[in-house]
Amino acid sequence: MKKVLITGGAGFLGKRLAQAIDWADDILLADITEAENPHNGSRTTIADVSKPEDIARIVTPDITDVFHFGAVVSSGAEADFDLGMHVNLDGTRALLEACRALPYPPTVTFASSCAIFGSRGGELPSNAASRPESSYGIQKACGELLVNDYARKGFIRGVSCRLPTVVVRPGKPNLAASSFASSIIREPIHGHRATCPVNGDTKLWIGSVKSVIANFLKAHELAQAESLPTYRAFNSPGITLTIHEMVDALERAGGDPSLIDWDFDPSIDAIVSSWPAALDVSPELKIGFTQDTNFSEVIKDYVQIYG
Ligand SMILES: NC(=O)c1ccc[n+]([C@@H]2O[C@H](COP(=O)([O-])OP(=O)(O)OC[C@H]3O[C@@H](n4cnc5c(N)ncnc54)[C@H](O)[C@@H]3O)[C@@H](O)[C@H]2O)c1
C-alpha cells in the first residue's frame, strides 16, 4: 500500500503534485487552509506542521511517502522572522522526527529552493555551496541539511529538490517575492493589470509547473535508489530569462504588455536579487530530470488550460 502525505497540500504545487501521482492508494493533503477542489480521491485535513499534535495526527504509521511543501514562502518568511523559523525550520524538524518514529523509513521529498544559493552572478556550479541571503533561503538550507542527515542515519529515505521560480502560477498571488513573475504574464493574458516590482533586465531562474512537478517526482524516485550522492539534493532544471524576455513572450502570445505597471519595490528586488539567475544542471539532466526549452510554450500551456 502506498499512502502519501502532502504537507502544504492546499497550495499551488501540492495540489498539482497530487494530480500527477498515479501510483498511490491514498493521498492526504494537509494544510492550514482547506484544499479547494482536491484531486479525485485525495483526502484533506487542516493541519499545521508547526503543531506537534497536528503532526502526530497526520504522520500515521501507514504513511509510506511524504512530500513536504508546507512553508511560509519567501516574502512571508522575510516579513515574519519568528513564523518563518517556527514553520520552515521547527516544523520541518518535527515532521522528520515523526517520520523517524515510523515502523519503516518513509520516503521524504523536501521542497527546497534555489534561494539556498544566494546571489553570486553568472552560472553557479551544480554543487555550489549554500550561501543564502534571506531568512527563507536559510530555513530551506537548514531543511536540506536535516533531510540529508535523517537520510544518512537511515531514519528516512530522503532527498531535497531545489525548485526554480515556478511560472505561470494560476489563481491568486501568494506571499512569494517571485509571485509577480506569474502575475505579469497571467493578468495581461486575462486582460487585467499587473505590477512589476523589479527592473526589466533582472534575470530569473524559472521553470514551468509541468517541468517542476515532473522533476519533483523524479527526485522522489531517486530518494528510493540504493546509491545516492553523499549530499542528497537535486536542482530542478530551470531556464534563465530577463523580465524583458518574459514580456516579449507575453506579447507574442497575444498579451498586452501595456497592462504592466513598472513600480520598483526595493524590498522585493532585494529578495529576488539574492537568488541565482542560472545553475549548471547538466548532472541532473543526465539522470533524467527535465528542462523547459521555450518560454512561449510555457505560456501556451497556461493559455490552453486557464485562458
Ligand atoms: N512556487 C515556486 O516558485 C517555488 C519555488 C521554490 C520553492 N518552492 C517551495 O515549494 C513549496 C510549495 O510552494 P507553492 O508555490 O505551492 O506555495 P503555496 O503558497 O501555494 O503553498 C504553500 C502551502 O503551505 C501552506 N502552509 C503554510 N504554513 C503551513 C503550516 N504551518 N503547516 C502546513 N501548511 C502550511 C500554505 O497554506 C500553502 O497552502 C514551498 O515549500 C515553497 O517554499 C516554491
188 lines ligand 1 (CB under 6 A): no
Mark whether 284 and 221 lie in a shared domain: no
Determine the distance separating the centroid of ligand 1 and the alpha carbon of 181, expressed in angstroms. 16
Residue that terminates a domain, selected from 188, 220, 235:
235
Please give the Cα distance from 302 to 67 (Å, whole number): 24
Q: Which of 69, 136, 172, 174 to mutate to test the pocket of ligand 1 (most atoms within 8 A of CB)?
A: 69
Atom 38, ligand 1: residue with shortest CA distance? 11
Determine the distance separating the centroid of ligand 1 and the alpha carbon of 258, expressed in angstroms. 31
Output the tens digit of pLDDT for each of the chain's 307 residues: 999 999 999 999 999 999 999 999 999 999 999 998 888 789 999 999 999 999 999 999 999 999 999 999 988 999 999 999 999 999 999 999 999 999 999 999 999 999 999 987 788 999 999 999 999 999 999 999 999 999 999 999 999 999 999 999 998 888 888 899 999 999 999 999 999 999 999 999 999 999 999 999 999 999 998 788 889 999 999 999 999 999 999 999 999 999 999 999 999 998 888 889 999 999 999 999 999 999 999 999 888 888 7
Atom 31, ligand 1: residue with shortest CA distance? 48
Mark whether 298 and 193 lie in a shared domain: yes
Please give the Cα distance from 172 to 219 (Å, whole number): 28
Mark whether 31 and 170 lie in a shared domain: no
Atom 35, ligand 1: residue with shortest CA distance? 70
pLDDT value at residue 38: 85
Determine the distance separating the centroid of ligand 1 and the alpha carbon of 17, expressed in angstroms. 12
92 lines ligand 1 (CB under 6 A): no
Record the cell numbers describing residue 209, joined without a space: 509547473
CATH code of 254's domain: 3.90.25.10
Mark whether 115 and 246 lie in a shared domain: no
Mark whether 256 and 301 lie in a shared domain: yes
Q: How many CB atoms lie within 10 A of CB 103?
A: 7
Mark whether 184 and 257 lie in a shared domain: yes
Please give the Cα distance from 80 to 275 (Å, whole number): 19
Q: How many domains are there within the chain?
A: 2
Domain of 181, in residue numbers: 166-206+239-306
Answer yes or no: are the C-beta atoms of 132 and 119 closer than 8 Å. no
Determine the distance separating the centroid of ligand 1 and the alpha carbon of 248, expressed in angstroms. 29
Residue that terminates a domain, selected from 235, 253, 284:
235
Mark whether 137 and 152 lie in a shared domain: yes
Please give the Cα distance from 26 to 5 (Å, whole number): 9
Mark whether 104 and 180 lie in a shared domain: no
Mark whether 120 and 172 lie in a shared domain: no
Mark whether 137 and 244 lie in a shared domain: no
78 lines ligand 1 (CB under 6 A): no
Residue of 187, 189, 203, 199 lying closest to 252 (CA atoms) = 189
What pTM was estimated for this model as a whole? 0.96
11 lines ligand 1 (CB under 6 A): yes
At 170, is the secondary structure helix, strand, or coil?
coil
pLDDT value at residue 111: 98
Q: Which atom of ligand 1 is nearest to the CA of 174?
A: 19
Please give the Cα distance from 188 to 250 (Å, whole number): 8
For the question of residue 136 being annotated catalytic, the response is yes
302 lines ligand 1 (CB under 6 A): no
Mark whether 98 and 128 lie in a shared domain: yes
Atom 12, ligand 1: residue with shortest CA distance? 69
Mark whether 7 and 87 lie in a shared domain: yes
CATH code of 102's domain: 3.40.50.720
